[in-house]
Amino acid sequence: MDIEDLTKSQIILLTLLVSFMTSIATGIVTVSLMQQAPPTVVQSVNRIIRQTVGQVASTTARITQPAASAAATEVKTVIVRDSDTISQAVAIASRSVVRVYAHDAASPRFLGIGIIADSSGLVITDESAIGEYANVDVKRADGSLTRAFVTGRDTAHGVAYLTQATSTTPVVLGEPALFAKTSVKLGDMIVVISGVTVDHIRAGFATTLLSSADTGTVAVVETDIPKSGVLPGTPLIDATGNMIGISTGISRAVSEGSFLPIGMIKIPFQ
């Protein structure tokens, strides 16, 4: 058959066959020459091969290493535990929590918990806990005790306002609380700060949001916090330490785990 009569496919196959046979022949000749060559020549050839392979491997490693390093720096897993979030929130909020006692030097009686609302030392607490008292004692987070006077009552929401007494001597009236700017959402994680003498905390969730039309009295945030974790005036905080609610007699009338949203409280400075 004349080569000019071959098709393109046949020409390609013929070229591959010739290349394959040439490679085999080259390999056979190379092996034969290496077997007949002096040892010094064989050593030199082997050394050249090893150096060539080493350079190629080194270059490949340098090329792939930056890509691997970039991937390692881009992929970063951060694990945030709920316990860490809660402890940070409590540390922030507890600085603004006070305990209210009946003004009785002989036998001060615990009445409830309060929240420092502003830099003047205004305290908001549960009106039902204050009762008919016109003045009480306020124990702040640092352990200091001061006299406070009942300067206002919001009977519709069950909130009492206490103004801490001052003197000519500079007194730190406490750190004002951080009040949430947004409303509580259903399913939000919440924490309460309770305890008669020291802080006791309980974490839970906002389980129901009820309007005043639903309750017939005031809007409340219902939680899964049990009765044992709620005292008069117990503050409700979010996962960032912002105050979002307070327990009052009005809210507890709906359910023991219900709290008055902080946005419902009429605070003079707002």
Q: Using 50, 70 and 90 to split pLDDT, how confident is the model at 46?
A: low
Evaluate whether 209 touches 222 at the Cβ level (below 8 Å): yes
CB neighbourhood size of 65 (10 A): 10
Q: Where are the domains positioned within the chain?
A: 7-72, 84-264
Q: Is it the case that residue 172 has pLDDT exceeding 60?
A: yes
pLDDT digits (tens, 9 = 90+) for 81-102: 566 788 999 999 999 999 999 9
Scan for tokens 């040439």, then name that residue: 22
pLDDT digits (tens, 9 = 90+) for 64-85: 555 445 455 555 555 545 667 8
Comparing 22 with 204, the larger pLDDT belongs to: 204
With b for 16 or more beta-carbon neighbours within 10 A and e for fewer, the 231-253 pattern comes to bbbbbbbbeebbbbbbbbbbbbb
Please give the single-letter amino acid code of residue 17: L
Instruction: Evaluate whether the domain defined by 84-264 bears CATH number 2.40.10.120.
Output: yes
